[in-house]
Structure 1
Amino acid sequence: MGERLTLPVLPLRDTVVYPGVAVPISAGRPGTVEAVQAALDGDRRLFAVAQRENVDDPEPGVLYSVGTVVRIIQTHRVRGGVQLLVQGEGRAQAISYQEDGEQMLRAVLLTMDRQEPRDLEDPAFQALDRELRDRAAELGTRRGVPAEALNQLIQGVDEPGPFADLVSFYLELPTPEKQSLLEILDDEQRMRQALVAVERELARIEAQEEIQARVQSELGERQREMLLREQLKQIQKELGEEEEQGDLDELRERIEALELGEEARHEVDRELRRLERTSPQSAEYQVIRTFLEWVIDLPWGERTEDKIDLARSAEILDDDHYGLDDVKDRVLEFLAVRKLQIERAEDSDAPTGAGEPEVDAEAEQGAASNDAASNDAEEDSASGRAPILLFVGPPGVGKTSIAQSVAKALGRKYVRMSLGGARDEADIRGHRRTYVGAMPGRIIQGMRQAKTRNPVLLLDEVDKLGVSFQGDPSSALLEVLDPAQNSTFVDHYLGVPFDLSEVLFIATANYIDRIPAPLLDRMERVDFSGYTEAEKLEIAKRYLLPRQQKENGLYDGELEVSEEGLTSVIQEYTREAGVRQLERELGKLARKVARNIAGGEEAETVGKDEIRELLGRPRVHPERMAEEDTVGVATGMFYTPMGGDIMFVEASVMPGEGGLVLTGQLGDVMKESGRAALSYAKANWKELGLVEGALKGQEVHIHVPAGAIPKDGPSAGITMATALVSALSHKRVRRDLAMTGELTLTGRVLPIGGVKEKLLGAVRAGITEIIVPRDNEADLDDLPKDVRKMLTVHLVETLDDVVALAFRSAKGGAASGTSGASRKTKSSKSGKSRKKSPPQDEAPAQA
């Protein structure tokens, strides 16, 4: 039976004191300090016992029952408490805990005696003792304890039991395990448990060292750098320099929120992991970060909803543009189709409830449809595909602004991408990221700018794409503009598919023959023709004058231009199919008026006379109808991208060697037309009413003014032949008649292009009677109604028809001497014209 004691309690947190071990302890809690003082006032002994839980105010239930009686060796008062050095004397068990004094506890104890080995000379016991000491020494060495201190510590304790207590104290064990070792009274058993704990600690250290050795062997320079950077991150975190890590976290959150496909997600996650392993100071870091920011800024899942109101769309188009009725009709047709696709896709979605349009299920089941085109439209509605429109026409006629109106009518974002002068395939597809300064192509840049998956993307000046050693950008556009392929468009910079199938592409071009055939095949052509003078006049009134008035700081009513003045500007100062030059001239006029008003003059209406004063002399001199009928001079018509006009073809016959001279900067095709006209005249001299041998020993000279302007095309064939026949027969050609058409060696008149523009040019020149090929009759429908009313159009099939209409008789009528409507309506000697003519065939053919 042990000794009975009553001692102040010294509660310990995460510490177990063993007999025979000196332990430094910091006492700061009021109850602990009070207990220390009570011990100092008594026999300097305390009952040191561990707490089951780490609490500040220990109660009896928190304390273990077995502890150690310790004696205070040294004390040192410090701020906030006292530092103790205590020496363990023996084990004791608390019978009861009692509160004493203000906050301290006293324990009624019963001392506990350890059980020594029965036979200290037993070889097994000695082997256990030796093994424990050897393993303890090895553990101390592994922990880095100096050998001298370690030997002194081990050799200072001879008895096996106290040595086991010493080893148990220095082991890194949880408090419950240390407490269980303290409670073992049998020395041999405690030695065995301590040896097991030592062996376990040695095994852990050995495994840790093995792992470190293996990792170290696998670490190269890059891994070592990564390890150092991780340490640097921790240092920066301690120093408060963790802004960069915060940026990476924000980047990761934004990437996780993207609606990426599986392939794109894999690539982006891989690059993000590379970024986290890369130094912010390295060049590669910025390259990777720029790529990730591009990915984040792209509209992977964002789209705008199409809200199509056809009446409102028609109103928008009419408000923004005057004329262009055919173009507006085509745009409204497209919007109507899109509206039906959306509505019927929603209707087919509703009953199925499967998230797919009903037509897809029908297509999969092979169900028949009464209308294949309707079925295709429903399939397109499911995919959201739209036709690629190509706006073709001369500069300044409103191609770009119509595209803006389409975006406005659809409620979509509008992005304009100029392709003029692009000569590198990378302009479309982007550069690979391995290149310095790599960037995505213009398509992806446009999508980033739009911030939506379904914008209206205008490919401006697609006919100006160039080809160089860096590739052909027009070929790169083939994938972009193919609805079957552009859902997986891969930009070289991104390296992952991006869906362009919901984009509405609109391309513009001035010259359709400069667009490669495979690219043209993917687009639906919409033609923009030039404006008539009446349309230009109306556009100037409605749009151009108010805009220039506002841009030049004038109030409403301060820039008043009479209709006669505007017509003068259109005819004498501009030569174009569109209205850009007209707007520049009106801007110049507005600046002149603004200067006068700023100088104190009053605003007044600008008429034709004031136009010449403000804008100077006229700079455009369009051809006008000839003043009189002339032998050897026929009036033809031509077309340029700037519009249509008339030209005079002059023929002269003189004595010579029978050759043909062609002047006026004529192209090869036009020269061939001149030779064909001469050959036909030689072969058909009798039918043309020429004298036999009229061309014998005669040299023919055909000239087309102005000589400084290059000319080409087949449509002057009948004009050259008419001028030549006139020169040979000495008959005057009617000045009030203009003609166009290609001539064959057999005298047939073939169709030509640009009929609308040519006829408008003739009307501007004051000519209202026209000859055109019979096969161009359908082109007359393109003429504005007001122009059709003032024109008399003769449809011809042979040169005989042309000659019959072109020459005047001595009395001033037609060359045959027959006048009146009946002669003009026949248009040829056969009855074929009546079958092809409109119902009012007895009157002159009206267009």
Structure 2
Amino acid sequence: MSTRQTLPVLPLRGTVIFPGLTAPIAAGRPGTLRAIESALKGDRLVFAVAQKDNTEEPSADILYSMGVIARIGQVQRGLGGVQLLLHGEQRATSLQYTMTEGFLSAVVTNTEEMAPLDEKDAAFEALHKEIRERAAELGERRGLPEEVVHQVLDSVTEPGKFADLVAGYIELSVAEKQGLLETLSVEDRLRKVLVMVQRQISLLEAQEEIKSQVQEELGERQREMFLREQMKAIQKELGDDDQSKEIEELREKLNKLELPKDARTEVERELGRLERSGRESMEAQVIRTYLEWIAELPWNTRSDDQLDLTHAHTVLEEDHYGLKDVKDRVLEFLAVRQLRAQQLAEEMDRTGEFPAAKLKTTADEAPSASIPKKTNHEEKDRQITDKREAKARAMAKGPILLFSGPPGVGKTSIAKSIARSLGREYVRVALGGARDEADIRGHRRTYVGAMPGRIIQGMKQAGTKNPVFLLDEVDKLGQSFQGDPSAALLEVLDPAQNDSFTDHYLGIPFDLSEVLFIATANFIQNIPGPLLDRMEVVDFAGYTEREKQEIAKKYLIPRQLEENGLADKKLSFDDDAIASLVSKYTRESGVRQLEREIGKVARKVARRIATKEGEDPTKDGIISAEEVRELLGRPKVHPEKANVAHEVGIATGMYYTPMGGDIMFVEASVRPLAAPTAEGGAPVSLILTGQLGDVMKESARAAFTYVTKNAEALGIPKSKLGTVETHIHVPAGAIPKDGPSAGVAISTALASELSGRPVRKDIAMTGEVTLRGRVLPIGGVKEKVLGALRAGITDVILPKDNEADVEDVPDEARGQLRFHFVGTLEEVLALALLPEPTKEPLVAVA
């Protein structure tokens, strides 16, 4: 039977009181204190109801409608408010909240719960029994004594009151407890409480498991620390304490490195193995060497680029004479990097940080957890380092340069100048003769005497992450059954892959993306196609004789005088002496042999000064051409010179070698056979001598076919076309010769011999010919032209398609030569053959 009554309201914050439970309550708000005082003056009953939120001043809007009629028990007053015990007696529902005399009161009516239809039902009894068992288990898991738990639970036998008892003690939110309070069906409330009790048990089980794991891990660590201390004591007794110190020093050095995740894992694993192995064991020595390599590599050390183009131009001009095209290409490379740096700086000024796209933030690059936590100053330093690293990576991508040209022209030295102009470290690796893939990638640690490859060795030598790295003589790589080293270079020289280059010895990736790789080669034809495709070729051509003289004056002579103790003797070479050294004692595109000859002169002068006790053996300290002849003896080089007269059957061709260009003579001779046949008969044979290659022989046959077929147009009498033997010879028979570019010279020599018209002595020619008389383009124009100029040639015949290549010839040389560009042999012969036999006497060739 429901009854209505008006009771003071006791708002509850953060809790819900259930019927049959007693709970301590602290009250301090003025309205709540007035409500308590009103209840104490009456029958000590209040309507205890939970607030929907934790508001300081409660109102009817924030109070639930269902609560509990509770009786105030013991009251204890204090300065901060009132402490009281509140005992829930009956569920009740508020019909109306009103504010009277400064506190809330409510008209409430009792709310009866809904009993189960049949308390003897097996399912209901099983539910009741299950919740009792689970509640007892929960209490025991919380650490309560088993007797206390059963005493409390057994004191309540009614299912509804038991559900309220358990709901009051488990940890639930206010909303969940209010939901249980408002669940009037006893069976439903039992089910809900059972679910929440089971959830609490599962949570406690998980916590206990985690706690057990933590305790186990801590126990293992403590055990390990204890064993380590024991090991240290044992090692100290055995005299192995030095090894422990070495390992600790090595560990400290490695912990300072900001290694990638994979590298850190491998380092920790190897350190553990090193600690467990004996000091004198072979395994310990191998592991120690490996870890020392890791510690000495520049994982995060880099140089700051100096991107001042004026400074770079000054450095290049100081170190090298000429090479304008090469210097321009280097300055263009530096200009691109300077503009990238400016763009990054502008973007950082605008956004306050480096662009995210420029950063490479991968999980593998996160510092290891073993690194100690950084202070504020260290964190600022780390941020500065990160910004430098981001800037370096953003600027790292760029071409890989290949300096191609003959020996001695400055390929290696200009790479060193690039490093000096950039302010970077310089490291050179000679690849000539390398035939094993392990030379590049290193040996695996399973082999005795294993070591890293030349790339990692070079990085250790450089000491920074972004050096200028010269791969010298990349065209001299060999191949063997041990692998192809040029294939191993494919990853090194690919900007898209070399950020994770893995040396076989290290077994972990190393970032090469910030390295400026420069390669050198004499023959780019010897470089495999895939490797050549990864590089940008910069051609180094030979020097002219005037350039060699200037280089000798500015660089070679001062250096050799210094090296031979003559710097304070005020010695010098006059122009004729330098010209004599260049033309009579050296034959090369570069200046390496020239420097050797200058050094030889300097040594002989030094000896004469030393033996004559300081007497000057030269005239006023100037070495002349005559003194060079006296000191060095007869000239060692006899280069080809242009003919002194126009001759029949001798044409001047041009050729190219890695040592530079030069001229060669092609001789043709025709003689009748002993038993000639009728006029117009076909020739019997074509003889080719001079150690000619297959391609050159084919050019000679094509030239002979063209000349004989066009005999009438070329003014060749029919008597010369009988049964004859035609002989073509190229002097210097000990030297192999090949290539198609001698076709023009062979045709001219044949036409001259058969027609009797002399070939001009001052004209040289090059070009490939076809059976139809077309002149096709060839290569090496610059070197061939410079060789012709050195030989005294004044006119040069080139294929029309090579006209643009003349722009590569130095202005000085172009001013001394006349160029004739032809498309057919008819044009060649018109230029090269004189219209009628010359009156000059023929010169016999010894």
SS at the partner of 1:777? helix
Are the equivalent residues in 2 in contact too, given 1:416–1:459 (CA < 8 A)?
Answer: yes
Question: Are 2:584 and 1:585 equivalent residues in the alignment?
Answer: no
Are the equivalent residues in 1 in contact too, given 2:796–2:819 (CA < 8 A)?
Answer: yes
Counterpart pick for 1:746 among 738, 763, 772: 772
Are the equivalent residues in 2 in contact too, given 1:404–1:414 (CA < 8 A)?
Answer: yes
- Counterpart of 1:632 in structure 2 is 649
- 1:171-250 maps to which residues of 2 (within 5 A)? 231=230, 233-237=232-236, 242-250=241-249
Are the equivalent residues in 1 in contact too, given 2:769–2:825 (CA < 8 A)?
Answer: yes
Counterpart pick for 2:491 among 470, 479, 489: 479
Where does structure 2 lack aligned partners over 5 or more consecutive residues?
1-215, 361-389, 674-682, 840-846
Question: Are 2:283 and 1:284 equivalent residues in the alignment?
Answer: yes
Question: Are 2:258 and 1:259 equivalent residues in the alignment?
Answer: yes
Query: CA offset at residue 227 of structure 1?
Result: 11
* Cα distance in 2, alignment partners of residues 256 and 359 from structure 1: 27
Counterpart pick for 1:691 among 717, 722, 728: 717
Query: CA offset at residue 437 of structure 1?
Result: 0.9
Are the equivalent residues in 2 in contact too, given 1:487–1:498 (CA < 8 A)?
Answer: yes
* Cα distance in 1, alignment partners of residues 226 and 479 from structure 2: 50
- Counterpart of 2:577 in structure 1 is 565
Are the equivalent residues in 2 in contact too, given 1:417–1:460 (CA < 8 A)?
Answer: yes
Are the equivalent residues in 2 in contact too, given 1:352–1:358 (CA < 8 A)?
Answer: no
Query: CA offset at residue 229 of structure 1?
Result: 8.9
* Cα distance in 1, alignment partners of residues 239 and 520 from structure 2: 56
- Counterpart of 1:623 in structure 2 is 640
- Counterpart of 1:781 in structure 2 is 807
- Counterpart of 2:127 in structure 1 is none
Are the equivalent residues in 1 in contact too, given 2:393–2:514 (CA < 8 A)?
Answer: no
* Cα distance in 1, alignment partners of residues 717 and 560 from structure 2: 63
Query: CA offset at residue 329 of structure 1?
Result: 0.5
- Counterpart of 2:213 in structure 1 is none
Are the equivalent residues in 1 in contact too, given 2:666–2:746 (CA < 8 A)?
Answer: yes
SS at the partner of 1:386? coil
Equivalent AA in structure 2 for residue 460 of structure 1? D
- Counterpart of 2:749 in structure 1 is 723
Distance 1:238-1:675 versus aligned 2 partners, 3 A rule: closer
Distance 1:228-1:260 versus aligned 2 partners, 3 A rule: closer
* Cα distance in 2, alignment partners of residues 309 and 459 from structure 1: 25
Query: CA offset at residue 693 of structure 1?
Result: 5.4
Query: CA offset at residue 790 of structure 1?
Result: 1.3
Query: CA offset at residue 284 of structure 1?
Result: 0.5
Equivalent AA in structure 2 for residue 606 of structure 1? I
* Cα distance in 2, alignment partners of residues 580 and 439 from structure 1: 34
Question: Are 2:557 and 1:545 equivalent residues in the alignment?
Answer: yes
Counterpart pick for 2:436 among 409, 417, 424: 424
* Cα distance in 2, alignment partners of residues 265 and 523 from structure 1: 33
* Cα distance in 1, alignment partners of residues 665 and 530 from structure 2: 40
Equivalent AA in structure 2 for residue 262 of structure 1? K
Are the equivalent residues in 1 in contact too, given 2:337–2:395 (CA < 8 A)?
Answer: no
Distance 1:676-1:811 versus aligned 2 partners, 3 A rule: closer
Query: CA offset at residue 310 of structure 1?
Result: 0.4
* Cα distance in 2, alignment partners of residues 760 and 273 from structure 1: 66
SS at the partner of 1:390? strand
- Counterpart of 1:440 in structure 2 is 452
| CA deviation string 1:71-98 (max 9, x = no partner) | xxxxxxxxxxxxxxxxxxxxxxxxxxxx
SS at the partner of 1:790? coil
Are the equivalent residues in 1 in contact too, given 2:685–2:724 (CA < 8 A)?
Answer: yes
Equivalent AA in structure 2 for residue 438 of structure 1? A
- Counterpart of 1:177 in structure 2 is none
Are the equivalent residues in 2 in contact too, given 1:346–1:357 (CA < 8 A)?
Answer: no
| CA deviation string 1:82-118 (max 9, x = no partner) | xxxxxxxxxxxxxxxxxxxxxxxxxxxxxxxxxxxxx
Moved more, 654-663 or 300-309: 654-663
Give the RMSD, CA atoms, in angstroms. 2.4
Distance 1:239-1:715 versus aligned 2 partners, 3 A rule: closer
Question: Are 2:324 and 1:325 equivalent residues in the alignment?
Answer: yes
* Cα distance in 1, alignment partners of residues 607 and 495 from structure 2: 55
* Cα distance in 2, alignment partners of residues 457 and 708 from structure 1: 40
Are the equivalent residues in 1 in contact too, given 2:557–2:598 (CA < 8 A)?
Answer: yes
SS at the partner of 1:312? helix
Are the equivalent residues in 1 in contact too, given 2:401–2:518 (CA < 8 A)?
Answer: yes
Are the equivalent residues in 1 in contact too, given 2:758–2:836 (CA < 8 A)?
Answer: no
Moved more, 274-283 or 241-250: 241-250
Equivalent AA in structure 2 for residue 644 of structure 1? G
SS at the partner of 1:582? helix
Are the equivalent residues in 2 in contact too, given 1:341–1:381 (CA < 8 A)?
Answer: no
| CA deviation string 1:368-391 (max 9, x = no partner) | xxxxxxxxxx99972522211000
Distance 1:811-1:631 versus aligned 2 partners, 3 A rule: closer
- Counterpart of 1:411 in structure 2 is 423
Are the equivalent residues in 1 in contact too, given 2:687–2:728 (CA < 8 A)?
Answer: yes
SS at the partner of 1:574? coil
Are the equivalent residues in 2 in contact too, given 1:341–1:380 (CA < 8 A)?
Answer: no
- Counterpart of 1:654 in structure 2 is 671
| CA deviation string 1:254-274 (max 9, x = no partner) | 111111111111111111111
Are the equivalent residues in 2 in contact too, given 1:559–1:590 (CA < 8 A)?
Answer: no
Equivalent AA in structure 2 for residue 629 of structure 1? H
Query: CA offset at residue 239 of structure 1?
Result: 8.3
Equivalent AA in structure 1 for residue 280 of structure 2? Q
* Cα distance in 1, alignment partners of residues 240 and 829 from structure 2: 94
- Counterpart of 1:467 in structure 2 is 479
Are the equivalent residues in 2 in contact too, given 1:357–1:382 (CA < 8 A)?
Answer: no
TM-score of the aligned structures, taking structure 1 as reference length: 0.66
Moved more, 345-354 or 440-449: 345-354
Query: CA offset at residue 678 of structure 1?
Result: 0.5
Are the equivalent residues in 1 in contact too, given 2:321–2:551 (CA < 8 A)?
Answer: yes
Equivalent AA in structure 2 for residue 346 of structure 1? A
Query: CA offset at residue 243 of structure 1?
Result: 2.6
SS at the partner of 2:718? coil
- Counterpart of 2:798 in structure 1 is 772
Are the equivalent residues in 2 in contact too, given 1:635–1:649 (CA < 8 A)?
Answer: yes
| CA deviation string 1:206-238 (max 9, x = no partner) | xxxxx9xxx9xxx9xxx9xx9999745314446
Are the equivalent residues in 2 in contact too, given 1:632–1:724 (CA < 8 A)?
Answer: yes
- 1:342-421 maps to which residues of 2 (within 5 A)? 342-356=341-355, 382=394, 384-421=396-433
* Cα distance in 1, alignment partners of residues 262 and 228 from structure 2: 30
Query: CA offset at residue 420 of structure 1?
Result: 0.7
TM-score of the aligned structures, taking structure 2 as reference length: 0.66
Are the equivalent residues in 1 in contact too, given 2:558–2:567 (CA < 8 A)?
Answer: no
Are the equivalent residues in 2 in contact too, given 1:349–1:357 (CA < 8 A)?
Answer: no
Distance 1:526-1:380 versus aligned 2 partners, 3 A rule: farther
Equivalent AA in structure 1 for residue 319 of structure 2? D
- 1:114-153 maps to which residues of 2 (within 5 A)? none
Equivalent AA in structure 2 for residue 775 of structure 1? D
* Cα distance in 1, alignment partners of residues 240 and 500 from structure 2: 42
Equivalent AA in structure 1 for residue 591 of structure 2? V
Equivalent AA in structure 2 for residue 290 of structure 1? T
SS at the partner of 1:644? strand
Counterpart pick for 2:627 among 605, 610, 616: 610
Are the equivalent residues in 1 in contact too, given 2:358–2:391 (CA < 8 A)?
Answer: yes
Equivalent AA in structure 1 for residue 292 of structure 2? E
- 1:283-302 maps to which residues of 2 (within 5 A)? 283-302=282-301
Query: CA offset at residue 783 of structure 1?
Result: 1.2
* Cα distance in 2, alignment partners of residues 580 and 258 from structure 1: 44
* Cα distance in 1, alignment partners of residues 499 and 729 from structure 2: 57
SS at the partner of 1:621? coil
* Cα distance in 1, alignment partners of residues 736 and 238 from structure 2: 78
Counterpart pick for 1:494 among 500, 506, 509: 506
Query: CA offset at residue 785 of structure 1?
Result: 1.1
* Cα distance in 2, alignment partners of residues 237 and 720 from structure 1: 88
Where does structure 1 lack aligned partners over 5 or more consecutive residues?
1-210, 362-377, 814-847
* Cα distance in 2, alignment partners of residues 707 and 269 from structure 1: 67
